[in-house]
A = this chain, B = another copy of it.
């Protein structure tokens, strides 16, 4: 059944696929992005370009002032982004306290404002092991509280919660999506670095499908 959905859309691969899934299912979509001072502002630029092309309403919410709470993340600070695989220690250094609950609370408030039935976000199975707020249990409990917090219930759904990044990519490729319209790299340079945890994970997803990522990467020595 068609409904109105706020899709939390970072500009990366997973939420790009999610956005298109919502459209493919016939839902009315409001895209919502967060400017939290991320170094990879190109992700937000990619999000805006895609929404403009699709003619979708797109809100970018400035939450940079929340850094006092969001402190401790390599994504916004001056410290080095860990390279290589998303090993447990390097992933923990990118953890923001209560990140997803904060973003989902804001998205739910926005959903009330635009009279949406649900908030969708792109948590996936690959993140379960390390991020408590990407686990099915978190999504279920967040859904439960969002249904009673306002006069109109808002559902919280993570359609890819049991998928991995490769399966999400497979779904997008089957829809004919152009992943050259997405941005993943944590480093905000002209080309993707190819070595940060996020790039490595992305490249592995393409490799697992025998595909070449359409994004340009920096040459390596």
User: Are B138 and A69 in contact, CB atoms less than 8 angstroms apart?
Assistant: no
Copies of the polypeptide in the assembly: 2
Question: A145 an interface residue at 8 Å Cβ cutoff?
Answer: yes
Interface string of A44-68 (1 = CB under 8 A from B): 0000000000000001011111101
Contact of A149 among B59, B65, B132 (CB under 8 A): B132
In the complex formed, the residue of B with least CB distance to A110 is B69
User: Are B113 and A106 in contact, CB atoms less than 8 angstroms apart?
Assistant: no
User: Are A109 and B97 in contact, CB atoms less than 8 angstroms apart?
Assistant: yes
Question: How near does chain B come to A145, taking the closest CB pair, in angstroms?
Answer: 4
Q: Which of the four size classes fits the interface of chain A?
A: 35 or more
Contact partners of A113 in chain B: CB under 8 A: 69, 71-72, 97
Contact partners of A137 in chain B: CB under 8 A: 148
Contact of A112 among B63, B97, B106, B108 (CB under 8 A): B97
Question: A150 an interface residue at 8 Å Cβ cutoff?
Answer: yes
CA distance A160 to B126 in the complex (A): 41
CA distance A41 to B100 in the complex (A): 30
User: Are A109 and B59 in contact, CB atoms less than 8 angstroms apart?
Assistant: no
Question: A29 an interface residue at 8 Å Cβ cutoff?
Answer: no
Contact partners of A91 in chain B: CB under 8 A: none
Q: List 17 A-B contacts (CB under 8 A).
A: A59-B68, A62-B65, A65-B65, A69-B113, A70-B109, A96-B109, A97-B113, A101-B149, A105-B105, A132-B148, A132-B150, A133-B149, A137-B148, A141-B141, A141-B148, A144-B144, A144-B145
